[in-house]
Chain A
Amino acid sequence: MSMTMMATTMRSTTMLDDFFSRALIAGIGLALTTGPLGCLIVWRRMAYFGDTMAHSALLGVALGFLFEINLTVGVFIVAVLASLSLLALQKRGSLSTDSLLGILSHATLALGLVTIAFMSWVRIDLMGFLFGDILSVSRLDIALIWGGGALVLAVLALYWRALLAATVNEELAEAEGLSPDRSRLVFMLMMALVIAIAMKLVGVLLITALMIIPAATARRFAATPEQMAVIGALLGAVAVIGGLFGSLEFDTPSGPSIVVAALVLFLFSLLPLARSRQTERPLS
């Protein structure tokens, strides 16, 4: 083996290590945030709502390019607008929430795709936005993910009691002075923020999966809501690590590989061998 070949191998290995570890750090940072947020989405039965907000992110990307604003900011704004318009449409009460979500979700996705197609002057890696490109994250992205993630977790911690009370029963929260309207707004803002920072990593089509699958997996192993949030975050991190190593090993796309890894964990949690939750009651 010649020295040049050795050098090439060495260099590519260091490069690989570099972007790979960046991807790992970014992915783990994201998973730690999506775990607790995902639990709230699962408890509130808002999976489709999260999906709708995520789909609207593509419209945010398109408008970001159109008005030359930061894409993360564009996605955040459009996701917030999508959720606010859903609330407004719900208040009118003519169509079921289910149908409204279906309309908003696919209309915003289609609008985003059409707008992008109109902008012939920009070249956009559509696949990257739809399915993510975690291997291309920069140091700035990492800072954004960990900074934004820390903000989301801090706000969730601050509003945790109100969020949980409203999840159990909105009237109860309202009557006992924990304004459910305010916690719903906070929750939606945090969801929009996480979607905005997660888009580059796993893409608009897979963000919801990263929120919901680890949280659903955590249910089996948790005895309290707080435990479930923490376990959800950890399982998300495990899925990121497993998915990224898997994508390296089998040369598969990284975003989908992470979701597949999360799915594998979820399937494991369904096995009868796993410790079942404690529902037995002591005899009185």
Chain B
Amino acid sequence: MKNTPKSDRTPLVSLHGIGVQRAGRWLVRNVEFDVARGEIVTLIGPNGSGKSTTARTAVGAIRPDEGSVTRKPSLKIGYVPQKLSIDWTLPLSVNRLMTLTERRSTAEIEAALTSVGIPHLGKSDVQALSGGEFQRALLARAMLRKPDLLVLDEPVQGVDLAGEVALYDLIGRIRDETGCGILLISHDLHVVMAATDTVICLNGHVCCRGTPQSVAASPEYQHLFGGTRAARTLAVYRHDHDHTHLPDGRVQHSDGSITAHCHPEDGHHHEHDHDGHDHAEHHHAR
């Protein structure tokens, strides 16, 4: 259930079977999805699965070698990058960061910082911020552009669990209040936002997609079990990757067999275990 107006269902951005090749290797291939206004699409997948490549292709930073990307005309994008290593030698206050790509008034900047909960940090150097504060500052910066599409590349990186919950809360609120579309990349295979409309699992290609446990996202469920904020915000979403992509593009499965493609028919040749037992690919270590 969504409380966002969804009158305009024209996708903000559509990826049509895109593929990106580097040094003779496909980083991603046959990736296909849309992001519409008010929709949150989350890309998850292990390291090197092409999440960032896909997101960068969606915003136009990478031209796909295969397939095409359609963006709504004059689409305004707000971008929160994955890793920002700002050299200490660059004197950059939070206030100055806000006007990095566009001029903004002091009042607008104050309002944006207040809305992400860091109104007191305007004069701080960005290098002095904690992980969570920095992510909030980056979110505020992206919001100041009043974007149609907000692209968040691992927005909770370097943030502790409590901060993670608060940030996901904030991202959900931004969507509700502005109605922008959000393309979110999650570093964590197991935990994605409950507010996410569509989860797309990448492993060089789209492994699977769908809504996260919709029950966990529903208000009834939250009332019943959601004593804590964590339960309201986070949904547990688990699965295994049971196949490996060989350098030549073929796929080796857990039983040792090798096929030319991953999805010969409908993409259900491998099992996704969503009920959750322990498996090899834990990505909690950072």
Residues on A lying within 8 angstroms of B by beta carbon are 42-45, 93, 161, 164-165, 167-169, 171-178, 215-216, 219, 222-225, 227-228, 277-279, 281-282, 284
Contacts and interface: CB of A to CB of B under 8 A. Distances in A.
A225 B96 CA distance: 9
Given A223-B93, A281-B121, A284-B120, A172 B87 contact: no
A277 B89 CA distance: 11
B128 A279 contact: yes
Interface stretch (B77-85, B210-218, B235-243): B77-85
B161 interface: no
A277 B82 CA distance: 27
A93 B23 contact: yes
A9 B201 CA distance: 85
A176 B89 contact: no
Contacts of A164: 100
7 contacts: A168-B90, A172-B79, A174-B59, A176-B78, A215-B89, A224-B93, A224-B96
Q: How large is the interface on B (under 10, 10 to 19, 20 to 34, 35 or more residues)?
A: 20 to 34
B101 interface: yes
Given A172-B79, A172-B81, A175-B61, A224 B125 contact: no
B92 interface: yes
A270 to B, nearest CB: 14
B86 interface: yes
Nearest to A176: B101
A176 B120 contact: no
Contacts of B89: 42-43, 215-216, 219
Contacts of A284: 120-121
A215 to B, nearest CB: 8
A224 B120 CA distance: 18
A137 to B, nearest CB: 31
A171 B60 CA distance: 10
B253 interface: no
B245 interface: no
B61 A277 contact: no
Contacts of B128: 279, 281
B93 A173 contact: no
A227 B14 CA distance: 42
Contacts of A177: 77, 101
Contacts of A171: 56, 61, 79, 81-82, 153
B124 interface: yes
Nearest to B120: A284
Given A224-B93, A227-B91, A282 B123 contact: yes
B227 to A, nearest CB: 28
